[in-house]
Each structure stands twice: as C-alpha cells, then as structure tokens.
Structure 1
Amino acid sequence: MPTVTLAPVDDAVLADLTRVAVADAAADEVTPPLTSDGQWSAERVAWFEGYHRACRAGLPGSRREAVWAVLVDGSPQGAARLQLTDAAGVLEVGIWLTRSARGRGVSVAALGLLLDEAEALGADAVVADTAVTNVPAQAALRRLGFTLDAAEVEGRVRARVDVVAVRG
C-alpha cells in the first residue's frame, strides 16, 4: 500500500499536478467539458490551473471549496476537495486520480483524509456524487461508511456519511 497524504496546492505543487493530469488523466475526468473533443487543450489547462488557484482561499473563498493535491509516496497523483453545500454542516467531497494511481487503495486513503479534514472543519456530514457507472468510486464510498442512494438521478449516484458515525 502506498503512502497517501494531502498537500496544499501551491505553485510548485500545481505545476506538478498539471503535468500529471495532462499526462495521466482524461481531461473530462478533471475539468468540465470545455472542448467538444474531450482532449487536453490550452483552454483546459488554463481552467485547471485557475480553478486550483481560486480554491486556495478555502471554504470562505468565492468558490466555497478547499482543494488538496493527493500525494502518493510524495508525488502528486490527483486532487481532492471539500465544498460547502446549501445544507448547514454538510460538505461535498470530490476526488480525481491519475490512471496509474487507481486500483491501489489511494482513493479510500485520500477520502479518509478528507473525512478527517471535514471533521476538523466542524462538518456534521459529507456527501458525494458520482456516475452510476463509476463502480470503483461507489465501492470506495461504501468502504468508508457512506450510504448510497438506491435511486439514481440522471445517471448519478449520491452518497452520504455522518462524520460522527465514521469518527465516532
């Protein structure tokens, strides 16, 4: 099992994160669908870097999100986020990983670290949203105690965990 940690996304980490995203992740997994061909482009890289810079302000910032690089054995291999929701005390979690980091327990470890961050931030619950086809993400969420909605909406599955229940 690799060592998984979270790190703030300063300029040096962002440069490495951008490099691994472009080299080892599909653009549509990491950015909104900014181009019709689904490929990395200057526009997508600019969005990616701008997004991470905007999230440096954390939950109080204009994006209402905090983002960390997911480090695998000290090297950036993805990013993880917590975002305020409209429900008091509830944060939304999100994560993406490079292809080479997948299938090694990295997502479970990183999501566990995000639950620790959520608890430190005073959250009562954490929610997630993933594609109904993303079976590995659903398995990771279940492993961490999330309850998944049985009713999918528009190809999405929503999940929730009470932070106290997990960390209890």
Structure 2
Amino acid sequence: MAAEQTSSVVLVAVDDTVLAQLVQAATTDALADEVTPPLTAGRAWTADRVAWLREFHRVRRAGLAGPTGEATWAVVVDELIVGSVRLKHTDEHGVLDMGIWLTRGARGRGVGRTATAAALRQAASLGASGVRADTTVTNTGAMAVLRRLGFHLTLSDDGQDVRALLLLDPEGTAACEVTSEPS
C-alpha cells in the first residue's frame, strides 16, 4: 500500500511571474464570479475581468501600508498556484478582513483550511488582534473551515450572510497552529 503524500500549502508574494500563473489558474479552473466582482453581464471570464484581476493584485503589492490598506498572496500547493488570499484593514482597530478563493481542483482537500491558517499567521505577524471573514449561508465549505479554525459565526438579520470573527491572543497564536490535516 502506498503511503499518503502530504501536500505543501504556502502563501507567496504576487510578483509578475506569480500573477501570470494566478490569472491562468483563475481563468481555467474557477468561475469569474468566484474570483472577481460581477463587473460584466454574465458569469464568464472577459477581458475586463482579467484586467481587473491583474490590477487588483498589482496595486496591493505595497501591502497593508499601501494605498489600498490591503495585501494579497497566491496560494501554492506543491508548487502549483491554486488561488489567493487577501488581508485588508477594517474600520475596527487591529482587525483585518480576510478573503480567499481557490480553484475547483483545490477544493475539498484541506487546502482552504491550511491556506486560511497561513493567512491567520500572516495577520498575527502583522500585528492584528483579530481577523474577520464574510461568506453566505450557502457556502457550507467556508463556514466549516471557519468554525474548525475557531471563528465565531454570526448570521445576518436576513439569514443569508455570515460574518465570522476570530480574536487572536497577544502572541497571535489563536487558531494559528493548524497544519495540513486530512479533511
């Protein structure tokens, strides 16, 4: 019987080479609406959506201290780019907003949980006291990941949206010890 191979999940800076690979991953293995706002009619990848995706990551290279107050990283699994995560300042002092998207091929394999844990460690290293994430009640995979990492989930008044919050301890270790475990 062959031994199960453990995947390596890391976050990397989005330089031009990584950005080209990130765009390729998005346009070939994710729906445009999963990666970009609804910029155009329809859900298909268009030149406008690809241009938006490229510019989104380029202007965030300055990081949290830059003009957008936001930073992004590519999610890499075994040297293959499979999505991205972002952290952004919020109006709440010390709390960063987090977002993530993954290619279809990366979903359901624990990559989301491991990449989110890596983003939490990144947030802690940047001095965050907490991280929040927003999703919908239909995104059961995201809600499961957030719960497993210790986020407190709150349902919106209309019952459609979910806000998740994780407060980091002063050493930034809350929920940051998660490693690649089976789903």
- Normalising to structure 1: TM-score of the pair? 0.96
Task: State the 1:153 CA deviation.
Answer: 4.4
Task: State the 1:32 CA deviation.
Answer: 0.6
The one-letter code of the counterpart of 1:71 is V
The one-letter code of the counterpart of 1:166 is A
Match of 2:125 among 95, 98, 120: 120
Quick one: structure 1 residues 154 and 58, their matched pair in 2 at CA, closer, same or farther if it must change by over 3 Å?
A: farther
Residue equivalent to 1:10: 15
CA distance in 1, matches of 2:155, 2:23: 35
Match of 2:51 among 46, 57, 79: 46
Residue equivalent to 1:36: 41
Query: Superposition pairs for residues 81-160 of structure 1, below 5 Å?
Result: 81-151=86-156, 153=158, 155-160=160-165
SS at match of 1:33: coil
Say how many residue pairs are matched: 168
User: CA deviation digits over 1:36-65, x for unaligned, max 9?
Assistant: 111100000000000000110101112111
Task: State the 1:11 CA deviation.
Answer: 0.2
User: CA deviation digits over 1:65-106, x for unaligned, max 9?
Assistant: 110000011111000011000110000111000000000000
The one-letter code of the counterpart of 1:8 is A
CA distance in 2, matches of 1:69, 1:79: 4
Higher helix share: 1
Runs (4+) of structure 1 exceeding 4 A deviation are: none
When the two chains are superposed, the root-mean-square deviation of aligned CA atoms in Å is: 1.4
Match of 1:166 among 137, 155, 175: 175
The one-letter code of the counterpart of 1:89 is G
Quick one: structure 1 residues 25 and 153, their matched pair in 2 at CA, closer, same or farther if it must change by over 3 Å?
A: same
CA distance in 2, matches of 1:42, 1:131: 28
Task: State the 1:131 CA deviation.
Answer: 1.4
Asked if residue 63 in structure 1 is aligned to residue 68 in structure 2, the reply is yes
CA distance in 2, matches of 1:142, 1:152: 20
Specify the structure having the higher radius of gyration (Cα): 2
Which runs of 5 or more structure 1 residues have no equivalent in the other structure?
A: none
SS at match of 2:98: strand
